[in-house]
Amino acid sequence: MIYLILFYAILRVRHWLPVAGSTVFTTLALVVKVLFYFTQKDSNVPQYLVVLSSFIVAWVELWMMPFQVLQRERRHTHAIAPQETSSASTSRPNRGRSLAGTLTDEEFRSAMEYSSGSSDEENVVGRPRLPSVCRPYSNAEYIQAGRQAVTIAKRWYDSVSTWQQISADPLVKCTNDRDRGKVYYVKVDLSAPPERVFRIVYSDSDQSPKWNKSVKENRVVLRVDDTTDVCYSVSAPALRGYIASRDFLDARYVEIDAERQVYTMAIVSVNSTILPPNVNKRIIRGENGPNIWILKPLADNPNHTSFEWIMNTDVK
């Protein structure tokens, strides 16, 4: 123990060799002790337990140090590095604005994005400095992401008849996309008109935690135009907490055919600076691939809704 404290706490070594040496030495010492110093007289149960526990502790240390402790320290160092490198540019904040003030995605744009002529319409709550994976999005990029999600998901939708069926009631099918992994199709009939279902799942989505126990939070953080917005959601822990909460930042895009009462809604994750992942990893950022919901009236009962869902999600 003193040996490990010397290397990892005092000398601050960041390599697994010291603990490997400690484990090898302890194992050899235990082997020598068992072979040459144990006798039939004193080889009782407590003696065996001491040897066995020493052996287990030594190898648990070898597993914990490189794969848990050192790896976690490296992740923490990488997480705070972007904040340290950008501290110079943020050392003189605008005194006219509080930290809890509102920021728009436009404030994060580059000169090229400003020249595009696009603008954002609503303010969003400010967040901590961003990991390098995030980047500013223009209004046009949010809209493009939503339209592209519709295109990809409709291509999957057109081939659903060839997918593998998992269950019949409700109808669930799946396929494996070469680029995006597992894709699921779910179809269920609802005893409510399409307009009402659309209002519940889209227009009033911030109320979804009240009726959907798998959702802890759902809110719109930016409205781009009448067809597109950016939504932030947090899932509830699953399997009694064994699966932690995930959060998602998605562009939502909607197409409405009022004459046929068909509502098409698409969501897809965006790595936008408007709401970055939690840098302390308290909540893991999941990723939604192209997802699409299609609501339309049943042929034999226009007051009931056929709800179809193409789902492609990576919870990380």
Q: What is the pLDDT of residues 44-92, one digit of tens each?
A: 556 656 666 666 766 666 666 655 555 665 655 555 544 444 444 444 4
Based on the fold, state whether residues 58 and 145 are members of the same structural domain.
no
- Is residue 296 over pLDDT 60? yes
Give residue 282's pLDDT.
Answer: 73
Based on the fold, state whether residues 77 and 134 are members of the same structural domain.
no
Contact 171, 187 (CB under 8 A): yes
Handedness of CA 155, 158, 163, 166 (dihedral sign): positive
| Within-domain flag for 220 | yes
Based on the fold, state whether residues 32 and 130 are members of the same structural domain.
no
How many C-beta neighbours within 10 Å does residue 271 have? Answer: 15
Based on the fold, state whether residues 152 and 215 are members of the same structural domain.
yes
Give residue 108's pLDDT.
Answer: 36
Based on the fold, state whether residues 199 and 55 are members of the same structural domain.
no
Confidence label for 204 from pLDDT (cuts 50, 70 and 90) = very high
Higher-confidence residue of 9 and 220: namely 220
Average pLDDT over residues 166-173: 92
CA gap 64, 78 in Å, rounded: 20
pLDDT tens figures, 260-275: 999 999 999 999 999 9
Residue with tokens 């009726």: 211
CA gap 149, 141 in Å, rounded: 12
| Within-domain flag for 106 | no
Based on the fold, state whether residues 79 and 153 are members of the same structural domain.
no
| Within-domain flag for 227 | yes
Q: Which amino acid is at 36?
A: F
The angle, 0 to 180 degrees and rounded to 10, between the axes of the packed helices 17-36 and 45-64 is 160
- Is residue 110 over pLDDT 60? no
CA gap 97, 101 in Å, rounded: 6
Residue of 111, 162, 169 whose CA lies nearest to 138:
111
* Averaged pLDDT score across all residues of the chain: 76
Range of the domain at 47: 2-85
Q: Which amino acid is at 273?
A: T
Confidence label for 255 from pLDDT (cuts 50, 70 and 90) = very high
CA gap 34, 48 in Å, rounded: 9
| Within-domain flag for 180 | yes
Give residue 122's pLDDT.
Answer: 39
Residue with tokens 């936008």: 272
CA gap 299, 308 in Å, rounded: 15
- Is residue 248 over pLDDT 70? yes
Give residue 5's pLDDT.
Answer: 62
Mean pLDDT lowest for which of 22-31, 183-192, 200-209, 273-282? Answer: 22-31
Residue of 225, 233, 273, 226 whose CA lies nearest to 250:
233
- Is residue 39 over pLDDT 90? no
- Is residue 36 over pLDDT 80? no
Structure tokens, 314: 């990576």
Average pLDDT over residues 274-282: 78
Average pLDDT over residues 210-223: 92
Number of domains into which the chain is organized:
2
Give residue 3's pLDDT.
Answer: 60
